[in-house]
């Protein structure tokens, strides 16, 4: 069911968005060569407990997960596209790392992701990150009252296709509110003027994720991490936004 939030409720969601943004920024800043993924997960967990927030991931066990996630943040390295399960791995020079974090503050959830390059950047990785980030910006720009969800999806997909990337439609954005995942679904490609009308008070996450060489994925033996079928690298960017009477409100905007 799609829920429309009142202006007061959207205002209450700001605290969750600001906190999620701060954790994403803090863990990204700590992601250096030689740092263990488990140390980054611990940092996220420490910040959650210090804030008195509630993790959206710790006990999360959807149908596509082999077991409860059991960690505070998704950390996806190189060919890992989504849902990267933190494990004992020390970051290496040239790795690309996607950090995806969601939690609840005062009963409201926010969700955000960023991909960074650890150490020395490779030109192809720089381009992949720039295209994926630009697709997120395009999706946000299309999230205006009077448009439809298909306009958001089409804007994202147009950026991907112009860069020669194919788009996987198995996972995409989603409604956000009292829980992390709700209606509506936000595909990363689509047709303009189709789908759910965008009305003030609609809150959802937009999250383009692209892989360099394929649009196919498989599940790692850990039962969670989704990897590119051909081993090519992946990038993932996400913001939680609210539709307003004018420009979209990016609740997870980072300083």
- HEC string of 144-164 equals CECEEHHHHHHHHHHHHHHCC
pLDDT of residue 55 exceeding 90, the answer is: yes
With beta carbons less than 8 A apart as the criterion, state whether 61 and 69 touch: yes
pTM over the 0.95 mark: yes
pLDDT of residue 255 exceeding 90, the answer is: no
Q: What local confidence, expressed as pLDDT, does residue 64 receive?
A: 87
pLDDT-derived band at 150, boundaries 50, 70, 90: very high
With beta carbons less than 8 A apart as the criterion, state whether 157 and 189 touch: yes
Phi first, then psi, for residue 11 (nearest 5°) are -65, -35
pLDDT of residue 63 exceeding 90, the answer is: no
- Mean pLDDT confidence for 202-222: 97
28 or 1: whose pLDDT is higher? 28
Among 109, 81, 106, residue whose Cα is nearest residue 227: 81
Q: In the chain, what are the domain boundaries?
A: 7-250
With beta carbons less than 8 A apart as the criterion, state whether 184 and 204 touch: yes
Which class would CATH give 7-250?
Answer: alpha beta
Distance CA 255, CA 20 (A): 12
Q: Tell me, rounded to whole angstroms, the distance of Cα 3 from its chain centroid.
A: 21
Distance CA 110, CA 254 (A): 13
Other CB atoms closer than 10 Å to residue 6's CB: what's the count? 10
- Mean pLDDT confidence for 209-214: 96
pLDDT-derived band at 121, boundaries 50, 70, 90: very high
Query: Residue 141, SS3?
Result: helix
Query: Residue 75, SS3?
Result: strand
Among 115, 159, 117, 116, residue whose Cα is nearest residue 137: 159
| Residues near 197 by beta carbon (within 8 Å), at least 6 away in sequence | 147, 148
pLDDT of residue 15 exceeding 90, the answer is: yes
Q: For residue range 157-196, what is the model confidence (pLDDT) as tens digits?
A: 999 999 999 999 999 999 999 999 999 999 999 999 999 9
Distance CA 96, CA 70 (A): 23
């Amino acid at each position: 069911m799609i829920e429309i939030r009142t202006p007061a409720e959207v205002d209450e969601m700001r605290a969750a968005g600001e906190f999620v943004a701060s954790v994403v920024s803090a863990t990204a800043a700590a992601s250096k060569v030689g740092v263990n993924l488990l140390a980054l997960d611990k940092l996220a967990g420490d910040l959650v407990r210090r804030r008195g927030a509630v993790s959206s991931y710790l006990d999360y066990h959807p149908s596509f997960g082999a077991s409860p996630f059991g960690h505070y943040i998704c950390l996806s390295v190189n060919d890992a596209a989504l849902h990267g399960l933190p494990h004992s791995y020390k970051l290496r020079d040239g790795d690309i790392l996607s950090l995806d974090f969601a939690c609840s503050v005062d009963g409201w959830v926010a969700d955000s992701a960023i991909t960074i390059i650890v150490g020395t950047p490779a030109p192809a990785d720089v381009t992949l990150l720039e295209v994926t980030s630009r697709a997120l910006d395009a999706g946000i720009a299309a999230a205006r009252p009077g448009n439809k969800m298909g306009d958001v999806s089409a804007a994202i997909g147009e950026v991907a296709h112009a860069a020669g990337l194919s788009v996987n439609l198995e996972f995409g954005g989603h409604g956000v509110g009292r829980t992390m995942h709700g209606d509506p679904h936000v595909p990363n490609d689509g047709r303009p003027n189709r789908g759910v009308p965008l009305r003030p008070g609609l809150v959802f996450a937009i999250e383009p994720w692209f892989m360099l060489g394929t649009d196919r994925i498989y599940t790692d033996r850990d039962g969670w991490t989704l990897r590119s079928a051909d081993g090519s690298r992946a990038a993932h960017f996400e913001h939680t936004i609210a539709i307003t009477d004018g420009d979209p409100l990016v609740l997870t905007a980072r300083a």
